[in-house]
Structures are given as C-alpha cells and as structure tokens.
A and B are shown apart, each in its own frame.
Chain A
C-alpha cells in the first residue's frame, strides 16, 4: 500500500515536472532520471517495464503481444551505498500505479513538448503581417 505521504510527494513531483522546475533526463527508452546535488546528492529513477504477453494459439505456436507494463520508482541517496531509500513497484504494489502513471505521463509529456518546440524552432520564421 502506497504511503499517503509518499503519494503526496509524488503528486508534488508531478506538478513540478509539469511546471519544469524538475528536469528529467532519459537514460534509455524506458527509464528517466532526475538527479540533484543540492540540498542532497540524490537520484530519482522512474522506469516503465514492458512485458510480452504470450499465448499459445496452437500446439507449438505461440503469439506474443506487448501489452503488459508496470513501473519501478526508486529514490537513491547518493552519499550512501547503492540501496534505494524508497522503492515502489506497481507489479508488487498496484496501489501506486495511478500515481506513477501520472508521473510517467508528466515526464513524457514535457519531453514531447520540448521535442515539438524544437521542431517548431526549425521552421522558417514568417514575416509579421
């Protein structure tokens, strides 16, 4: 069960992400990282884990579809050994699924907007009429 205080903290991170106070960095296609050095050296990791759901359609024939995903959320204090001080996995704790889905949508939404802004900046400027 997701701690209500942790949920409130994640909601705040969502809000700060949308307002771009928090900048996430994509380290691979499914993982985003928010790192800071002040006030503490810390790292927040959000990862989407996808699974292929395999069903047997005939003896010896298996059909695979990418349809199941869950999130892993970890917070590391970088001054301590590499053990997360907070770790939530929506597969093990489904109650955290909504909060982490919101966070993931916020992170990817900001990233998409930035990509779109960059693409728009490439277009030639039209003279003011």
Chain B
C-alpha cells in the first residue's frame, strides 16, 4: 500500500508543479473567452454605430420638419401678400358715382377678406401696430356708410356715397399697402435660412 500512495503523491506533486498553460483545457477556455470578448466588442461597436445613426436620423428629421414648417410659413405669407394686393386693387376701383348698395358690398367684402387675411398675424410683433390700425379703419369706413344709407323713398344722389367713404377707403388702402410692404419684408426674412 505504501508504494502506491507514494506514487500517487508523486503524481499529484508533478501535476501541481507543472504550469497551467501546459494544459489543453486551459487553452480551450482561453480561446472561447477571447472569441466571446471579440464578439461582444463587435456587438458593442455596432450598437454604438446604430445609436449614432439613429441620432443623426433624428436630427435630420427635426431639420426637415423645421424646414417644412418654414416653407409652409413662406407659402402662407406669400398667399396673404397676394390677397392684400388684390384687396388694394379692389379699393382703388372706387367710382365717384357708386351707389349705396355697391359701396356696402365693396366695404363688406374688403372688411371680410382683410380680417380673414390679417387675423393670424395680429400678435406678430412686426405687424401688430399696422394690423391694429387696419382693424380701426374698417369700422370707420363702415360707420361712414351708415351716414349715407338712403332714406326710405328717397332716390340716391350720385356722388354722396363717394364723398362719404372716399377718404376712409383711401386711408385703408394706404394701410394695406404699408402692411403689404411689411409682409414682403417678413417673407424675405422667413426665406433666408433656406435660401
């Protein structure tokens, strides 16, 4: 029994004294560990790359949204500018012999179109004051119309309506022209970032 034990002890001592890298299973696990590190590294790299691309896509989408919004603003401002130009032309066509019903239609149409066009911009700092002046000039013209409403049974006197509203509409037209100028300036400013 004694020599067997001694042999086994010698064998164990020999095993313990030999370096672990001389063992095959060490290298198997070492290689597997290195492969897993490399795979994890690739995974991490792809994750970072995907995150970066997602961030870039988000920035691009935000920029596209802002650009689309700006483009929409420019188109809207141009539309309003065209409408204001048409209103101005309409106001210039006031005839000296205009009768009450035609003048009432003209004033109401101009008031309706003007208010519809300028209302969205009433708080715009650049336009606020001019829009307030226009809003005050519209009732002035409508009030002047009341002063020439034909009395029941009376025939109209050509020129009376013109005398009553000509100055009001001329003033309104000047204000519309000034507002149109401001809108055109605003249009250029809005278009600059995309120019």
Give the B-binding residues of A (Cβ under 8 A): 25-31, 33, 43, 45, 47-52, 54, 56, 59-62, 64, 66, 72, 74, 82, 84
**A59 smallest CB distance to B (angstroms):** 6
**A47–B129 contact, CB under 8 A?**
no
Number of residues in B with C-beta < 8 Å to the partner? 31
Q: Give 1 or 0 for each of B151-166: 1 = CB within 8 Å of chain A CB.
A: 1001111111001100
Give every chain A residue within 8 A of B146 (Cβ-Cβ): 29
State the CA gap A72–B139 with chains docked (Å). Answer: 22
Q: Which B residues lie at the A interface, using CB under 8 A?
A: 97, 100, 128-129, 131-133, 135-137, 139-140, 143-144, 146-151, 154-160, 163-164, 167-168
Residues B148 and A62 in contact, CB atoms below 8 Å apart: no
Could you list 18 further interchain pairs (A-B, Cβ under 8 angstroms) beyond the known A45-B157, A60-B132?
A: A26-B151, A27-B155, A28-B149, A28-B151, A28-B156, A29-B151, A30-B147, A30-B164, A33-B157, A49-B144, A50-B143, A50-B147, A51-B144, A51-B168, A54-B140, A56-B132, A64-B140, A66-B143
B133 to chain A, nearest CB (A): 6
Contacts known (A49-B163, A72-B163, A82-B97); A61 close to B132, Cβ less than 8 A = yes
Chain B nearest CB, measured from A10 CB (Å)? 18
CB-CB nearest in chain B for A60: B132
B160/A31 in contact, CB under 8 A: yes
Establish whether residues A60 and B160, one from each chain, have CB atoms under 8 Å apart when the complex forms. Answer: no
Listed from nearest, the 8 A-B pairs whose CB atoms lie closest are A62-B136, A52-B140, A27-B154, A30-B147, A60-B132, A28-B148, A31-B160, A72-B163
Smallest distance from the beta carbon of B122 to chain A beta carbons, Å? 8
Contacts A/B (CB < 8 Å), 25 sampled: A27-B151, A28-B149, A28-B150, A29-B147, A29-B148, A29-B149, A31-B148, A31-B160, A45-B157, A47-B160, A49-B144, A49-B164, A49-B167, A50-B143, A50-B144, A51-B144, A52-B136, A54-B137, A54-B140, A56-B132, A59-B129, A62-B132, A64-B139, A64-B140, A84-B159
List of B residues within 8 angstroms of A31 by Cβ: 148, 157, 160
Could you tell me the distance in whole angstroms from the C-beta of A14 to the nearest C-beta in chain B?
A: 20
- Taking chain B's interface residues, is the majority helix, strand, or loop, or is none over half, making it mixed? helix
Main secondary structure of the interface of A (DSSP, over half): strand
Bound CA span A48–B154, Å: 17
CA distance A45 to B157 in the complex (A): 8
The answer for the CA separation of A47 and B166 in the assembled complex, in Å, is 14
The CB with the most chain A CB atoms within 10 A, among B140, B156, B158, is that of: B140
In contact, A27 and B156 (Cβ under 8 angstroms): yes
User: Which residues of A are found within 8 Å of B144, using beta-carbon distances?
Assistant: 49-51
Given contacts A50-B147, A59-B128, A64-B139, contact A25 B163 (CB under 8 A): no
Contact of A27 with B167 at beta-carbon distance under 8 Å, contacts A50-B147, A54-B137 already known: no
